[in-house]
Amino acid sequence: MSNPARAVLLGPLLKSVSRSFYITLRVLPVGMRDPIGLAYLLARAADTIADTSLIPPGQRMDLLLSLRNQVNGAPDEAAFTRMAAEVGSQQADSDEKVLLESLGAALTVLSQLSESDREAVRDIVTTLTKGMEFDLHTFPDESSGRIVALREFSELDQYTYMVAGCVGEFWTKMTYLHMPGTFTGSSEVVLNRGIRFGKALQMTNILRDCGKDLRIGRCYLPSVMLDRFGLCPHDLLVPKTSLPAQPLLFELVGKTLDHFREAIKYTLSLPAFAVRLRLACLWPVLIGLETLSLLVSNDHWLDPAKVSKIRRGDVYRIIAFSVPLVASKRLLQLWMERRIAGIEAQMRG
Residue 56 pLDDT exceeds 80: yes
Report if residue 166 sits inside a domain.
Answer: yes
Amino acid letter, residue 330: R
Which whole number is the average pLDDT over 175-203? 94
Distance CA 349, CA 32 (A): 43
CATH code for position 349: 1.10.600.10
Report if residue 54 sits inside a domain.
Answer: yes
Residues 297 and 203 in one domain: yes
Residues 96 and 144 in one domain: no
Residues 109 and 144 in one domain: no
Residues 107 and 160 in one domain: no
- The reported pTM is 0.91
Which whole number is the average pLDDT over 156-165? 97
189 or 84, which is more confident: 189
Which whole number is the average pLDDT over 329-349? 95
Which whole number is the average pLDDT over 62-68? 92
- Number of domains observed in the structure of the chain: 2
Residue 245 pLDDT exceeds 70: yes
Which whole number is the average pLDDT over 154-160? 97
What is residue 53's predicted lDDT score, i.e. its pLDDT? 78
State the average pLDDT for the chain.
91
What is residue 307's predicted lDDT score, i.e. its pLDDT? 95
Residues 302 and 174 in one domain: yes
pLDDT over 90, % of the chain:
71
Report if residue 132 sits inside a domain.
Answer: no
Report if residue 127 sits inside a domain.
Answer: no
What is residue 130's predicted lDDT score, i.e. its pLDDT? 96
Report if residue 253 sits inside a domain.
Answer: yes
Angle at 36 between CA 32 and CA 37, to 5 degrees: 110
What is residue 151's predicted lDDT score, i.e. its pLDDT? 97
Tens-place pLDDT, residues 200-232: 999 999 999 999 999 999 999 999 999 999 999
Residues 69 and 149 in one domain: no
Angle at 250 between CA 248 and CA 251, to 5 degrees: 65
Residues 174 and 108 in one domain: no
Residue 92 pLDDT exceeds 70: no
Residues 89 and 192 in one domain: no
Which whole number is the average pLDDT over 160-170? 96
Give the domain extent around 335: 139-349
Residue 1 pLDDT exceeds 60: no
Residue 250 pLDDT exceeds 60: yes
Residue 299 pLDDT exceeds 80: yes
What is residue 146's predicted lDDT score, i.e. its pLDDT? 95
Residues 180 and 237 in one domain: yes
Report if residue 93 sits inside a domain.
Answer: yes
Residues 145 and 72 in one domain: no
Residues 146 and 82 in one domain: no
Residues 101 and 172 in one domain: no
Report if residue 128 sits inside a domain.
Answer: no
What is residue 51's predicted lDDT score, i.e. its pLDDT? 86
Tens-place pLDDT, residues 12-31: 888 888 866 777 788 888 88
Pick the range with the lowest mean pLDDT from 10-24, 38-52, 174-188: 10-24
* Number of other CB atoms surrounding residue 237 within 10 Å: 14
Report if residue 153 sits inside a domain.
Answer: yes
